[in-house]
């Protein structure tokens, strides 16, 4: 354990201070094209000037049919990117599975991550660029990307797939903009994060008392970038985390510390590619907002510490979209108790299914990179999709 903490102490400053321009050479494009699938890059400008990267697998290399197809829109979690949906390869990555099943697959990227670091007027080196949290991702980024996809494809509705923060932002949007339901045919939320009072992450428990209190951090931290994607991480993965490395167990333990310990399901061979693409960057305010959720036990707007402007709870009970939830027992970030609280808040007609992953050690990141992921997760997702499509 002492080795683990030394590794964390050295690694975190290294990532945070890494030069911004030296990003990893492994990208969503290289990962998709490696398997012979078609790939498209699109850009969407939001109403407040952020230019978001949208990635598309228009049709399957195996099926080779490029006609009209239903749309699957995938949205990543905190510090992640579109790359996470394709890292596991053609047999196990959700983006490829949906493509082979006949879906037009689009993968979003939230403002500030590796593929969405441009702005009409602001440079990422300016603190003002980073003045946002996942509320803006839900209320501005998601509608901009989904409406662009609908326009490009001619499809009125999309099937939405979100992991972690991709579930949070979806719940924000659909609780505050109930008219958006007409654009969503079904929503599949993996490791859903809304209420966080019972989360088990030791890092969150350590940070929340200081950084989850607006009065304590407002005068210390400004608007900053947190853990950008760098070439240094790619080199670290190649040198220290490969199968023959004596340090590989430390690499996986750093991941477990955040997500939940699960040595059985960790695809350790994939660690170098994981570190080359993740973390993908975020705003510090995204982190602070989650820490506030942990402290308050509420699912509510960002607390700016203003006495006359208290944060409002997100009205989850107003959501009117067919939702399927997928959760697990060993998730440090999305506890079973908090997911059950979310279930009780959702309308009975809205919550169409809730699946607990069978494996008792399944953690927060196994939803992206876990071994036996089809048996544990994807088979249930595809069955739920069939249920909706057959109605």
Instruction: Give the pLDDT of residue 86.
Output: 98
Question: What proportion of the chain, given as a percentage, has pLDDT over 90?
Answer: 67
What is the pLDDT averaged over residues 110-117?
A: 97
Has 175 been annotated as catalytic? no
Q: What is the pLDDT of residues 235-273, one digit of tens each?
A: 554 444 545 545 445 554 455 455 445 667 877 788 788
Q: Residue 285: in which H helix or E strand, if any?
A: helix 284-296
Catalytic residue, chosen from 135, 289, 364, 378, is 364
What DSSP character marks residue 310? Answer: P
- How far apart CA 202 and CA 205 sit, in angstroms, is 5
Higher local confidence (pLDDT), 67 or 51: 51
Domain spans of the chain, in order of start: 2-389
Does 341 score more than 90 pLDDT?
yes
Q: Which of 43, 49, 46 is nearest to 126 (CA)?
A: 49
> Can you tell me the mean pLDDT for 310-334?
96
Residue 8: pLDDT band (50, 70, 90) is very low
Give the separation between CA 194 and CA 209, rounded to whole angstroms.
19
* Predicted pLDDT at 228: 75
Query: Rounded mean pLDDT of 39-56?
Result: 98
Cut 0.95: pTM above it: no
Average confidence (pLDDT) over 21-49? 90
Residue 42 appears among annotated catalytic residues: no
pLDDT band at 231 (very low <50, low <70, confident <90, very high): low
Catalytic residue among 164, 175, 201, 283: 164
Torsion of CA 31, 34, 40, 45, to 10 degrees: 20
CA distances from 106 to 34, 71, 112, 161, 184 (A): 18, 7, 18, 10, 14
pLDDT for res 214: 82
pLDDT at 220: 61
- For 2-389, the fitting CATH number among 3.40.50.300, 3.40.50.970, 3.40.50.1820, 3.30.9.60 is 3.40.50.1820
Determine what percent of the chain is predicted with pLDDT higher than 70.
83
Q: Is 109 exposed, middle or buried (0-12, 13-18, 19+ CB in 10 A)?
A: buried
pLDDT at site 203: 80
């Amino acid at each position: 354990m002492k080795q683990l903490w030394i590794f964390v102490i050295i690694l975190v400053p290294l990532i945070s201070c890494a030069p911004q321009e030296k990003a990893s050479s492994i990208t969503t494009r290289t990962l998709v094209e490696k398997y012979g699938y078609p790939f498209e890059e699109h850009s969407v400008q939001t109403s407040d000037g952020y230019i978001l990267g949208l990635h598309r697998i228009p049709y399957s290399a195996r099926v080779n049919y490029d006609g009209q197809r239903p749309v699957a829109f995938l949205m990543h979690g905190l510090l992640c990117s579109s790359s996470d949906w394709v890292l596991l390869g053609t047999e196990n990555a959700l983006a490829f599975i949906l493509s082979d099943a006949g879906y037009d697959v689009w993968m979003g990227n939230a403002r500030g991550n590796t593929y969405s670091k441009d702005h009409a007027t602001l440079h990422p080196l300016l603190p003002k660029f980073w003045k946002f949290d996942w509320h803006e991702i839900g209320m501005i980024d998601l509608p901009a990307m989904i409406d662009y996809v609908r326009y490009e494809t001619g499809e009125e509705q999309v099937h939405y797939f979100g992991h972690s923060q991709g579930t949070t932002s979806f719940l924000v949007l659909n609780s505050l903009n109930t008219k958006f339901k007409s654009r969503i045919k079904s929503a599949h939320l993996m490791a859903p994060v809304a209420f966080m009072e019972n989360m088990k992450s030791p890092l969150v428990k350590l940070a929340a008392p200081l950084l989850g209190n607006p009065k304590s951090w407002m005068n210390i931290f400004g608007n900053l970038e947190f853990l950008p994607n760098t070439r240094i991480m790619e080199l670290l993965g190649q040198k220290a985390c490969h199968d023959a490395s004596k340090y590989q167990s430390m690499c996986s333990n750093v991941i477990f510390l955040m997500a939940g310990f699960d040595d059985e399901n960790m695809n350790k061979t994939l660690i170098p590619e994981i570190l080359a693409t993740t973390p993908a960057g975020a705003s510090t305010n995204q982190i602070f907002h989650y820490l506030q959720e942990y402290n308050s036990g509420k699912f509510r707007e960002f607390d700016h510490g203003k006495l006359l402007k208290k944060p409002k709870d997100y009205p989850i009970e107003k959501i009117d979209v067919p939702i399927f939830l997928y959760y697990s027992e060993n998730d440090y970030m999305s506890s079973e108790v908090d997911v059950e609280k979310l279930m009780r808040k959702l309308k009975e007609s809205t919550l169409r299914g809730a699946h607990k992953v069978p494996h008792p050690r399944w953690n927060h990141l196994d939803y992206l990179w876990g071994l036996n992921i089809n048996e544990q997760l994807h088979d249930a997702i595809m069955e739920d999709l069939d249920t909706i499509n057959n109605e």
